[in-house]
Structure 1
Amino acid sequence: MFDTPITAGDPFDEDRTQQTVEDMHRDGYVHIPDVLNLDEVAALRETTDRLMDDPEIFPAETPELHEGRYVQMHIGKEVQTPFILRNTLALDPIFPAMLMREPFVSLAEALVGSNCRFCGQNVLRNQPNVAIERWHVDGALHFPVPDEVDRYAPGIRPPILWFTIQIALTDIDIIEHGPTQYVPGSHCSGKHPNNPDDPEFEGNGPVSIFCQAGDIYLQDPQCWHRGAPNTSNRVRYLMQNQYAVDWAYRRFGWMNRVPLPDGVEAPDRLQRLLGNTL
């Protein structure tokens, strides 16, 4: 299908798939070791470097796409650094091959439905001292609870509307390498992180995902998380595949593709409603 170093991979058996789903609903994340081989990892890193450093791709703007640039910059105090490769499917066949690789698709089907949809793919290239260090959930709270309520009622399992498969492309062995950190169970809080420095949920503090290149970990966007600072002298590479429930894609994606009649000049407010501007 794609002439790339990416293999087809193999889906997990039914028991392992179901256990992964249960772990995801319990903790809000799941670490799965040894999925990609080292040739795949090396090819993805090389492709990322080639594209992020390409003098034509680096400055290119993509106003017609959700992400406005192929290369998102990290804005530091003194310098801007190329940080995240966006809109990857348009750049190289290796990326659609990764979207289709197993066990990614079968896990996505188990978590968000057999007719799940693509909703994003990125590669983060963390130079030393570059990270998304703040504790956060991705996007908005899906099911917020009132301030006086501590969490969702026990036994209520919030649905996963979309999720991320994080794919380690470098070893992340020690805290200085900038591991992703999660607060277990916090996806059941219905709240934003309760402490900007050291959040805690029901006695659980931050857990670091120490992993090897080729490992993956699944992430509920409502689980409190951050990237710890990369204080080493190494570059940290992390790829992301994102999959969503079908109805959200249909409802919020396809509608935005309906064009206005030729010659109609849309005011700013209408452009925003149509998703054409922020």
Structure 2
Amino acid sequence: MPSPALIRQRLQALHEDGYVLIPGVLDARQIAELRQAIDALRSIHWDYQGLVVDHYKCVFNRDPLWLPYLDLPGVIELAEAALGSDCHVIGQTAWRCHPGFIGADLHLDYLVMELPESLLADPQFRLPMQICTAHIYLDDIDADLCPTLVIPGSHRAGRAPRPGETTWHGRAAEPVLCRAGDVLVFRSELWHAGSRNRSRERIRYLLQVHYGRRMVAQKFSPYLEFHFTPEVLAACTPRQRRLLGDHQAAEYD
């Protein structure tokens, strides 16, 4: 478990840069376990399997194997510090990005409302976080293997990138190069992009966990048809049950 000082340092990075890279969260056994588990997934509901990308949603609900990756040490403490001790998971998705994968243009994931940049530049004002994403990398990420691109500080733009916009304050998106087992945590307002898989034969394996504040809706597709797998619920720890929505009663319940 990280020290309180380290959690504060990483939280400060989320406020200042919009993201933080946490090294060495997974060990070699966990990396191999997850890669094998992703290879065994089959498409259901709104999943997608194609020539260059495979995308599987709500994987936590398929097998108890996925549960420990909802509250990884070092990641969950940061999520709770950023979003509150009653935060929950709004998604857990697994990806395989094959050679030829295109990625995504510069974007942000969620913005509560547009705000004037002058307000966000004021050191006396700190924009609360509503949603954070953890990218759990299962490969060594170099410039050819789909690095996530980020513009540090761009969460303070107060808006989404406009069509064709590629910089913020003259700063272009930078690749996050890291090792298998590292975890990138970023807030939903950060301008970021997905890049191409330019390798000839390597596949990028990635597990995402999305965390939201208590009042942010959980995104469990296929929504009205979704139901929890009994074996998964039986295997949950109390914290994991809370992350999946087993909250104490509160307003609007």
Displacement of 1:221:
1.4
The counterpart of 1:214, out of the listed 167, 178, 181, is 181
The counterpart of 2:132, out of the listed 163, 177, 188, is 163
Q: Give the letter for the 2:212 counterpart.
A: A
Inter-CA distance 142–73: structure 2 relative to 1 (3 Å threshold): farther
Inter-CA distance 166–24: structure 2 relative to 1 (3 Å threshold): same
1:188 aligned residue: 156
2:113 aligned residue: 143
SS in 1 for 2:210: strand
Counterpart-to-counterpart distance in 1, 2:161 and 2:122: 19
Counterpart contact for 1:117–1:249, Cα < 8 Å: no
SS in 2 for 1:19: helix
Q: State the identity %.
A: 30
The counterpart of 1:102, out of the listed 54, 66, 73, is 73
SS in 1 for 2:106: coil
Instruction: Kindly indicate whether residue 35 of structure 2 is the aligned counterpart of residue 39 of structure 1.
Output: no
Counterpart contact for 1:184–1:205, Cα < 8 Å: no
Structure number with larger C-alpha Rg: 1
2:196 aligned residue: 229
Counterpart contact for 1:194–1:200, Cα < 8 Å: no
Deviation string 1:149-181 (CA, Å, 9 cap, x unpaired) is 5662422221110100111001112x1111000
Inter-CA distance 82–209: structure 2 relative to 1 (3 Å threshold): closer
Displacement of 1:93:
1.4
Instruction: Kindly indicate whether residue 39 of structure 2 is the aligned counterpart of residue 49 of structure 1.
Output: yes
What TM-score does the superposition give when structure 2 sets the normalisation length? 0.80
What TM-score does the superposition give when structure 1 sets the normalisation length? 0.73
Query: What stretches of structure 2 of length at least 5 have no aligned partner?
Result: 225-253
Counterpart-to-counterpart distance in 1, 2:52 and 2:177: 25
1:260 aligned residue: none
State how 1:122-137 maps to structure 2 within 5 Å: 122-137=93-108
1:83 aligned residue: 54
Deviation string 1:179-226 (CA, Å, 9 cap, x unpaired) is 0000111111012224636x2223422111000100011011111111
Deviation string 1:83-125 (CA, Å, 9 cap, x unpaired) is 2111101112121121122122211111100111111111121
Query: What stretches of structure 1 of length at least 5 have no aligned partner?
Result: 1-10, 52-56, 62-68, 75-79, 258-278
1:65 aligned residue: none
Q: Give the letter for the 1:96 counterpart.
A: L
Counterpart-to-counterpart distance in 2, 1:73 and 1:88: 14
Aligned residues: 220
Counterpart contact for 1:184–1:201, Cα < 8 Å: no
SS in 2 for 1:246: coil
State how 1:4-15 maps to structure 2 within 5 Å: 11-15=1-5
1:271 aligned residue: none
More RCO (CA 8 Å, sep 6+): 2
Deviation string 1:121-164 (CA, Å, 9 cap, x unpaired) is 1112100111432111114x322136xx5662422221110100
Counterpart contact for 2:80–2:86, Cα < 8 Å: yes
Displacement of 1:73:
4.0
Counterpart-to-counterpart distance in 1, 2:14 and 2:102: 24
The counterpart of 2:146, out of the listed 149, 153, 178, is 178
